[in-house]
Structure 1
Amino acid sequence: MRTSRTAALAAITISTLALAACSSADADPQPSASAAASTSPSAAASAATADLGTEVTVVTHDSFAVPDDVIDAFEAETGLAVTFVAPGDGGTLVNQLILTKDQPLGDVVFGVDNTFASRAIDEGVFADYESTAPAAADAAQYAVADSSALTAIDFSDVCLNVDTTWFEANDVAAPTSLDDLLEPEYQGLLSVTNPATSSPGLAFLLATIAAEGDGWQDYWTALNENDLRVTSSWSDTYYTDFSAPNYGGDYPIVLSYASSPPYEVGEDGTTPTAALLDTCFRQVEYAGVLEGAANPAGAQAVVDWMLSDEFQASIPENMYVYPVSSSVAVPEAWTEFAPLAEQPWDVAPAEISANRDEWIQQWTDIVTP
């Protein structure tokens, strides 16, 4: 999934990360209401026989957000001091993990998604770990095939969002499909993120490849000719470019998530934005222990913690994505304002792995030559 929606961590610049690296050795997916609730064992209990050490470093994207009290409780329970390191958006995160794999930036990572996961796994970034937390059974439905390196933590649909108030004020019908965006009435209205640097950007590229098939390059050529705007990160597109009342940018169509509209609900109980569910690609975010971690036991405890009821329950209202745990309820407003796509666009993981770099290069040649 996003600059953090709450100030749960301070972003650290890549130059600082480089210095840190030198000094250290982006089934049914809907949570099931009928699943039996269970209380997750504590991270400390799940690693009771391990020496967790005194500190652990979590590497994540710059949209990671979790309440301070959830972090404080984990630290008190385990005796670990947790440091968060955020090199950038999801795509930047994976690039940095690969570049620093011989001197890892930390012990455990959160935020590698299914569009970039195979790349990081193929590069040997992660150590195998299989959590025994109860929510691990829910996470298993999103497991990366033939790998024990990553554990699913959350999911959502990457979709275009529209500022419905802008379309009403300008007496223009909002688009509903990918092909609508090529029409002249939407010229200069769309902002998306670069798939080379942003995991939502790559997810959207994959949605267009799934939808347009062999014609996807022609589609992007036409989209670009319709005055497409491209930014380097989700936060630039959403927080800076979006014309929605909370932001005041110039673009009433932006790339975000199906679960973004509830974040914009006002005092009147309505939201000025909506997700276009025919444009969605399902994104899953994972956690994984870094190969060569200074504290692998502490890293495993963090993965278990991220599957705990406390952490999972904090996900919807802080990162605005769905928790993988079927024991955790999402806010009631999500039924109305954050429905998941019934048929999101999909590209097989093996096909993504085989073609990702070439597709990104082809996109770059078309859109940002």
Structure 2
Amino acid sequence: MIGATITTVTALALASCTLATESGEDASGTPDRSAEPGSTVVLVTHESFKLPKKLIRRFERESGLELEVRPAGDAGSLTNRLVLTGEDPIGDVAFGVDNTFASRALEAGVFAEYDAPVPPGAEDLAVPEGEGRLAPVDQGSVCINVDTAWFERSDLEPPATLDDLTDPAYEDLLVVPGAPTSSPGMAFLLSTIAEYGEDWPGYWEDLMANGAKLTDGWSDAYFVDFTGGGGGGKRPIVVSYDSSPAFTVDERSGETTTAALLDTCFRQVEYAGVLANAENPAGAEEVVDFLLGEEVQAALPENMYVFPVDGETELPEDWARFAIQPDETYSVDPAEIAENRAEWLTEWTDVTTR
């Protein structure tokens, strides 16, 4: 951010510039948007946000800001809170609203104008109606994941398609994060809408009748209920990401113990943006730039299970082997999501709570 500058040495110009700076403008009358050194900037984000402490410390040292990270549940809960607190936001900048929830936040005027400089390869990931307000930070695909080691031990062929999940052979084996509170959950709902059209409620009826379990967020589904998540869970099928198999590599064999079903995927992009009515908008802009920087982009895969949007970022070795991205993914037009979101979620809630 560029602060106010003094361009002359005459007493009159100095006095004029000083008064302008104190009133929040530079000598030309342009509002001063420099972040105040030593001030706090609050980043509101989802529960899965994680970056190396050394990167955060470096940002604080170089910017002169203190970064406070304020988790607000999964992406769905995050979006809901941002909308409900729009007039008096709970932070200065938000990260984690994704393409399945972005339309709601944009319609509610949650984000302020800030045309962040996005890295190479990220231009095509922007939300059309959010250009200049939301910057793409990471991307990946939400897919059904299976614990291949569990299926081998159980002498059972794992499922391969959405249809397979309703087969009695997989009764009580699936765990799904809820659509209203979780961005992976919402992405999975959209996958079923894209696949089954108006018949999607019937598919969910069959899914629930086959013993699918719902959780509030992805973390509970993956780390608590999923057998391959390390938490002693009992369900070997979970809604997760195409990158997840890169994190379940067995140290002895060097092979992954899980797999993403690449015919079940929905592309997800997560965004960052300055919050309207933020107390520290200049600091918020610096945080957005920080998230788009080379070091954070390189840290995303091993810290948040997602692909960077910077097409020039080198991926970790395990990702080249096991984080396989699908050639094709399900998609639903953002305008259709915006128009039907409330109705879809109401119907989804009715079906899954019967």
User: TM-score, normalized by length of structure 1?
Assistant: 0.85
CA deviation after TM superposition for structure 1 residue 339, in Å:
0.7
Q: Kindly state the Cα deviation for residue 131 of structure 1 after the two structures are TM-superposed.
A: 1.3
Tell me if 1:142 matches 2:125.
yes
Give the whole-Å Cα distance in 1 for the aligned partners of 2:311 and 2:60. Answer: 25
Deviates more, 1:241-250 or 1:230-239: 241-250
CA distance in 2, matches of 1:80, 1:73: 10
Q: Determine the C-alpha separation between the residues in 2 that align with 1:62 and 1:132.
A: 26
Contact in 2 for aligned 1:89/1:198 (Cα 8 Å): yes
2:88 aligns with one of 80, 87, 103: 103
Kindly indicate whether the alpha-carbon contact (under 8 Å) linking 2:248 and 2:256 is maintained by their aligned counterparts in 1: yes
Q: Does 1:359 align with 2:341?
A: no
Match 2:323 to one of 312, 319, 338: 338
Counterpart for residue 34 of structure 2: 51
Name the structure 1 match of 2:164: 180
Identity %: 51
Say whether 1:349 aligns with 2:349: no
Q: Which consecutive unaligned segments of at least 5 residues does structure 1 have? A: 1-48
3-state SS in 2 of match to 1:138: coil
Check if 1:84 corresponds to 2:84.
no
5+ long unaligned stretches in structure 2:
1-31
Question: Shift in Å at residue 332 of structure 1?
Answer: 2.1
Structure 1 residue 263 and structure 2 residue 247: aligned? yes
- Number of the residue aligned with 2:232: 248
The question of 1:192 aligning with 2:176 is answered yes
| 1:72 maps onto 2:57 in alignment | yes
CA distance in 2, matches of 1:274, 1:247: 18
What is the deviation of 1:340? 0.8
CA-to-partner distance for each residue in 1:281-329, whole Å, 9 max, x for gaps?
0100000000001111111111111111011111011001000012211
Residue 176 of structure 1: how far off its partner (Å): 0.4
CA distance in 1, matches of 2:316, 2:53: 20
- Alpha-carbon distance between aligned partners in 1 of 2:150 and 2:40, rounded to the nearest angstrom: 48
SS for the counterpart of 2:269 is strand
Give the distance between the partners of 1:203 and 1:265, measured in 2 at CA: 26
CA contact (8 A) 1:309 1:327 kept: no
**1:94 and 2:79 equivalent?**
yes
| 2:105 match: secondary structure | helix
CA–CA distance in structure 2, aligned partners of residues 150 and 270 of structure 1: 38
How big is the shift at 1:336? Answer: 1.9
Indicate conservation of the 8 Å contact 2:177/2:217, yes or no: yes
Cα root mean square deviation, aligned: 1.2
CA deviation map 1:180-199 (0-9, x unaligned): 11111001110001101111
Secondary structure at the aligned position of 2:203 is classed as helix
- Select which of 283, 294, 301 maps to 1:316: 301
Deviation per residue, 1:134-181 (Å, 9 max, x gap): x1x432211111332100000010011101111111111000000011
Q: 1:245 to 1:317 in 2, by over 3 A?
A: closer
Between 1 and 2, higher relative CO (CA 8 Å, sep ≥ 6) is seen in 1
**Aligned counterpart for 2:212 among listed residues 228, 236, 243:** 228
Contact 1:156 1:257 (8 Å CA) reproduced: yes
Q: Distance in 1 between matches of 2:352 and 2:91?
A: 35
**Are positions 1:123 and 2:104 aligned together?**
no
Max Rg structure: 2
Task: Find the counterpart in structure 2 of residue 33 from structure 1.
Answer: none
Is contact 2:291–2:297 with CA below 8 Å preserved after alignment?
A: yes
Q: SS in structure 2 opposite 1:110?
A: strand
Corresponding position: 1:304 with 2:304: no
Q: Aligned AA for 1:142? A: L
8 Å contact from structure 1 (residues 149, 289) kept in 2: yes
CA distance in 2, matches of 1:245, 1:97: 30
One-letter code aligned to 1:109: A
TM-score (norm 2): 0.88
Alignment partners' CA distance in 1, 2:59 and 2:243: 27
How many angstroms apart in 2 are the aligned matches of 1:185 and 1:100? 45
Cα deviation for residue 127 of structure 1 reads 0.2
Write the letter of the residue equivalent to 1:228.
Answer: A
C-alpha contact (below 8 Å) 2:144/2:238 kept by paired residues: yes
Counterpart of 1:202 (choices 186, 200, 203) is 186
Q: How far apart in 2 are the matches of 1:245 and 1:206?
A: 24
Q: Work out whether 1:167 is the aligned partner of 2:151.
A: yes
Note if contact 2:177-2:215 (Cα within 8 Å) is conserved in structure 1: yes
